Structure 1
Amino acid sequence: MAAEARMLDTVRLFTQGEDVFERDTGTTVPGPVTVLYEGHARVKPVSQSTGEETQAGEREIVLREVEVALPWATALPADTRVLPGARVEVLTSEDPRMAGLVLWVTSSQFSAQATAWRITAEDRS
């Protein structure tokens, strides 16, 4: 399939549970990670996305829209849907600057006529 032939990146799609504050140590422990998919994908910026400046804590960040295409036949664990807040980590890419990039899912597209499963995400750097 032509769409899958262009999937040259490797990603991990995951969710993370709520952080837990430990009173004894005074630290916050990240919640458990659930990996929904790990494998080939195509990660590309949305061309008309110029980036939106916003405040996060005390620093200014730019939100850039990114499309992540996964193979059409990608199977998720039973009773699982990809919802906003899930994350996509780029593990490998032909563009070495993308490795390690973490994207935040904003929506997931569904269609019986699609050639790939497309997820819209934000680069919050």
Structure 2
Amino acid sequence: MTAPGFEEFLARGRAAAEELQREEIHVWMPGPDVFDRVTGTTTPGPPAADYYTGPARVKPIAAASGEEVEAGEREVSLHTFEISVPWATTVTERLLPGAVVDVLDSPDARMVGLRLWVTGSEFNSTASAWRIRAEDRS
């Protein structure tokens, strides 16, 4: 049983977290690629799931340095981000690694167009926001 003042305290924390959510994002799961036998090319298929579009806070995790890995015969640097969306956000399916977060709008114009790949998400009944871990693979 929680103390009567705890729910009020939690509501204030969630409201404060939402004030920091200044980016607009779209979270979706890519569908399988489609191979065109005539042209011999592969194109991305339609999204398999559309999870969320709305406000969020997108911030790099300072403690995580860019890890360099090889992908597709080229070096890429992985940078970890934490994305916070309103705690009350309703998502009908569990967000799985491999989902994509696109930053659609931000007061920081350098973030617009940023594509992040989900590595995990956190659930907690006493959290101030729903948090998603993702990485920039550029």
Give the TM interval when normalised to the shorter protein: over 0.9
2:30 to 16, 35, 53: 16
Deviations 1:26-63 (A, max 9, x none): 12121111321101000000010111000111211100
- List 4+ stretches of structure 1 deviating above 6 A: none
Higher helix share: 2
TM-score by length of 1: 0.95
2:58 to 43, 50, 74: 43
1:108 to 121, 126, 136: 121
CA distance in 1, matches of 2:137, 2:84: 19
Gaps spanning 5+ residues in structure 1: where?
A: none
Identity, in percent, stands at 54
Total equivalences in the alignment: 123
When the two chains are superposed, the root-mean-square deviation of aligned CA atoms in Å is 0.9
CA distance in 2, matches of 1:25, 1:75: 41
Higher strand share: 1
Gaps spanning 5+ residues in structure 2: where?
A: 1-14
CA distance in 2, matches of 1:57, 1:25: 22
TM-score by length of 2: 0.86
CA distance in 1, matches of 2:82, 2:97: 14
What residue is the counterpart of 2:96 in the other structure?
83
Deviations 1:82-106 (A, max 9, x none): 0000010000111111100000000
